[in-house]
Amino acid sequence: MQTYICVIQIDKSPSTRYNDHKSMEDALTWEDSFAIARALMLQYPDIDLESVSLGQILEWTQALPNFEDDLRLCNDTILMAIYREWFEEVSSI
């Protein structure tokens, strides 16, 4: 009987998680849900997330000065990902 060992290297550095490596000046796209959530959190620090709608997240994301993506590419799944990242980030504070 032969035994095989598989080694997988996982990069656990925080700079690779959810595009966290983006600076505040980098262009944001719909793929950057964590960076968008962080930007919205800074823009609206006292907002009650339970009262925020997906429509508001869409409007606020569009209004970010460094947001540069096609609005037709957005959908509820993307907006929920932004909301979830924002909620998790606020909850961890």
Task: Please check whether residue 8 lies inside any domain of the structure.
Answer: no
Task: Please check whether residue 1 lies inside any domain of the structure.
Answer: no
pLDDT reported for residue 3:
55
pLDDT band at 92 (very low <50, low <70, confident <90, very high): confident
Global pTM? 0.74
Task: Please check whether residue 6 lies inside any domain of the structure.
Answer: no
Domain with residue 69: its CATH number is 1.10.10.600
Q: Which residue range is the domain that position 69 belongs to?
A: 14-91
Query: pLDDT tens digit string along 43-85?
Result: 999 999 999 999 999 999 999 999 999 999 999 999 999 999 9
Q: For residue 77, what are the CA distances in angstroms to 30, 31, 81?
A: 11, 11, 6
- Which residue in the block uniquely carries the two structure tokens 């996982």? 10
Report how many domains make up the chain.
Answer: 1
Query: pLDDT tens digit string along 5-46?
Result: 544 443 433 333 444 456 667 899 999 999 999 999 999 999
Task: Please check whether residue 59 lies inside any domain of the structure.
Answer: yes
